[in-house]
């Protein structure tokens, strides 16, 4: 057998403080604290950059929501026109509604394919 395991652990335990630094060694002095004016300016700059980042994300989400709202509004307009003319439709109204529905489908298809 090579040595006593207790002595080996003791020698490893003695090396640990040397690895992490000697606790009895004099510590280096801390840098002087920043002036209150510098701290305020850096805090304001950080807050401004965070606000701009949040506004950028909000505006991007708004644009996506508006583009999705376009498809919903066009489909709702076609549905509303159908509901208005259904009680007493004429042939010209039905043809007009069919053409409007085809136009809405084409526009929505273009909007959805360009988004992808």
Q: Residue 104 in contact with residue 78, Cβ under 8 Å? A: yes
DSSP 1: -
Categorize the per-residue pLDDT at 9 as very low, low, confident or very high, splitting at 50, 70 and 90: low
Question: When comparing pLDDT for 21 and 60, which is higher?
Answer: 60
Domain boundaries, the chain: 35-115
pLDDT, the chain, mean: 80
pLDDT band for 25, please (50, 70, 90 cuts): low
Torsion of CA 29, 31, 33, 37, to 10 degrees: 160
- Mean pLDDT over 32-56 rounds to 83
Would you state the pLDDT for residue 19? 56
Owner of token pair 């996506």? 64
How far the first Cα of the chain sits from its last, in Å, is 71
Question: Which range, 7-21, 24-38, 77-91, has the best average confidence (pLDDT)?
Answer: 77-91
73 vs 12, higher pLDDT: 73
What is the model's pLDDT at position 11?
60
Q: What is the pTM of this model?
A: 0.47
Gyration radius (Cα) of the chain, Å: 36
Determine the average pLDDT of the residues in 40-68.
88
């Amino acid at each position: 057998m090579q040595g006593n395991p207790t002595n080996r652990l003791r020698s490893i335990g003695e090396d640990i403080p040397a690895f992490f630094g000697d606790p009895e060694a004099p510590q280096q002095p801390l840098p002087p604290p920043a002036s209150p004016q510098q701290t305020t300016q850096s805090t304001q700059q950080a807050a401004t950059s965070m606000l701009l980042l949040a506004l950028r994300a909000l505006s991007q989400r708004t644009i996506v929501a508006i583009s999705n709202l376009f498809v919903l509004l066009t489909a709702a307009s076609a549905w509303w026109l159908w509901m208005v003319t259904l009680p007493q439709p004429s042939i010209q109204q039905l043809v007009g509604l069919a053409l409007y529905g085809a136009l809405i489908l084409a526009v929505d298809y273009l909007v959805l394919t360009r988004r992808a």
